[in-house]
Chains A and B, each alone.
Chain A
Amino acid sequence: MQETLENQSPETSVRGSRPRSSRPSPPVVFGQSGIAMAFYKSGALADIVIILGVLGIFYGIIQAGREWTGILRPTVLIDLSFRALPRYTLFSLIRGLAAYGISLLFTIIYGYWAAKDRLAEKLLVPILDILQSIPVLGFMPGVVLALVSLFPHSNVGLELAAVFMIFTGQAWNMTFSFYNSLKSVPQYLQEAGSIYRFNWWQRLTQIELPYSAVGLIWNSMMSMAGGWFFLMVTESFQLGNRDFRLPGIGSYMSVAVEKGNVPAMAGAVVAMIIMIVMLDQLLWRPLVVWAQKFRIEDTSQEESMQSWFLDLLRHSHMLRWIGNINAAVGRRFATMTSVLFQRAPRYMTGAASEAPNDTSPATHRRSFLSFVPRLLFILLVGVLAVALVQVVRLLATVRISEWLRLLRSDLLTLARVIVAVVLGTLWALPAGLRIGLSPRLSKIMQPIVQVAASFPAPMLFPAVILVLTKLNVRIGFGSIVLMLLGTQWYILFNVIAGAQAIPSDLKEAAASYHITARQRFWSLYLPAVFPYLVTGWVTATGGAWNASIVAELVTFRGQTLRAQGIGSIISEAAFGAKFGELAAAIFLMALTVVLINRFVWRPLYAIASTRYNISK
């Protein structure tokens, strides 16, 4: 999936270097007074922004710390006034970022281990694949209950549960991306690293991390967007009459819905959008533009991506100063590790021909640290074995008749997932083509679609259910609409990217031979966007399965709406602590996901990457 995601990155040629001064100075535009521009260029503005940013982060941490260590309340107290909204948004943001930090750490450790240890790789990659297929939302009640009982007197348990749930929505695709990058570092770069005796630290920081950066950043963006879904669900989590809601934008929304406070609902939606846009402008876009310097290809592209915030930061003296220190420390550390773990290589053999042979860094490391990965591996196998035994024991308690009921429900949910994806494709494919083929529309619509894709659908569930009940739609069908709400954007998003990537000579050929619109669709547009469409489908089905857990069982104004399906069974089993049933249902759902991956998506991917690969 990673390659296709990378394909979506707008082609750019921006470098990490400072803007060259050779460019003619821009004419002074009305409103850009000389003083303001000088202030901007001197870097003072950038330094002030950085100082304010650091102070803001400190403030956030202090606020969050106070909230975390606060006493656990029986019910959440949410102030529905707009003045309180920024604070709640900040809390949600901190949870998302904390989870992202953990995801990144997990990604680097797990991905590195899987890529470097041949033996562990055979276990770690399938585990990751399974983790990716498991509907983690099913574990939420268990995780919340366990962590709350660990910290009975403070909010720490609840907060940790929220962060953990978001983490499970973020980590897997990032890890896959990093692992794949590590495995695909070009051979000549690896050989250069070997021949010049780079140690593992130098390899990691100077070859492997830079090489992985582009893919990792794109996947981080996707992950962060996916994480909001889990944030909304955990923040507004209630179990029976127990209230586990956390002060945040999700609980604000859920209280607003309970109270029927429409302005507050709208406020929450606006706050969420502002948060998504701010993150994009202040974090992701600068990162993406900066990461252009890690691209491998030499090709220079026509259109370059810009980030005003990065341009601002590049004027900063403070950052340059920190960067220099950082580089010096990095070099020192690399030298230090090479002195510690290996002898400095000699390139002259003549002087000391009786000295023993210089050996590769790899063999040195093996002798020095070989027991650590082995130990970890044994530990891993042990944990897995115990977990497996437990799961099998749980599954053994489920009766055959029960299995049959679960299977029926599973098929019902599968049908809903398929219908949701088909419905999504029916409108997103033509719309995506329309947008992607028109540069003007793309420019307007793409940012909107991006925000829509990042927007957590569960936030809108109450409003949609309100409309559905007014229209007398039963929840069995209504849940399809709820699934569609979150997943259609993935399809749209990918189709737009695919349509933009259609080479203009093909479009021109179609036009010059007067090919009709209908034929153009079937013989050019559809095949050309097919690989992107498959990526969109995979992401969308994954999202739909997860959404089924919250879409098939919804509490709306004190009333529970339930649709027959594996999602509602997982929810109920989790609420009722029926662990045997829960394990069986999750097992069935994960199995379905894995089977579909293997027998539907993988063959489709194979076709997409050979027959419908436009770059070949």
Chain B
Amino acid sequence: MSSISVKNIIKSYGKKKDKVIALNDISFEVKEGEIFGIIGPDGAGKTSLFRILTTLLLADSGTAIVDGLDVIKEFEKIRKRVGYMPGRFSLYQDLTVKENLDFFATIFNTSIEENYSLIKDIYLQIEPFKDRRAGKLSGGMKQKLALSCALIHRPVVLFLDEPTTGVDAVSRKEFWEMLKGLKAQGITILVSTPYMDEAMLCDNVALLQKGKVLSINTPAGVITDFKYPLMAVKAKGMLPLLEQLKAMETVKDAYPFGEYHHVVIKNEQLVQQVRDTLSNSSLSDLQMKRVEADIEDCFIDLMKEK
């Protein structure tokens, strides 16, 4: 049975004249107990989607079911069952860590003790600061506290809107470890992120761009779908190199990728031709190698195709 089911959701803002379409006919299913990632750049419509699913916004049309409940008709029931962590840090900055947690526990008619097992791993990390005001915590600590607050009532479905934005690499890694732990406890997690590398950590991902779903697949599936040969190229003067690569007939796409440029070649037969062209041009310190596409390459390709 699917935990979240979204069908033909359309949402737009503003009046006729300057109407902005945030979500354009979105449909997807999230299975029970999986981590489902919504990957997309800023302005793709991620937050609008989360707000519709958490009953905070009404869609213009389409239906959405969360844990078997309709987001419009049964919004009160949904509000009891889901945990929601908005993109912006939205706890009380003038209350301490402990007070925030206590408060959210009471409004969900529970107590910290009752569900301590669920938040234990996360809470232990912030416990040393439990008497510190939430506003004085570091970014990573804030996220952990917010996650603890969203989990305090043992939700069936957890909505995390860009939980790792603005958090350092180490904390991001820890955060995803925590999500795996929660998944093991049977909680369905819908998480959005602008970081493509985090897609690999999801069970299924939907790529969202300008309010449209470009693809829904497992991370592995996304990679196998990528059919083009890929090369990493490096030379002295990276900027002119990129220009040169983009101008080549045989090259489908080229973009900076870490210390290399990734070059997507139109088909397997042309790989040697690309190698030759590059070798013959007067590039100093030229390095070329065949690489396997990772999920970022696939998303970049998907986003450019549409």
Q: Do A and B bind each other?
A: no
Q: Which residues from chain A sit less than 8 Å from chain B, CB to CB?
A: none
**Which positions in B face A, CB cutoff 8 Å?**
none
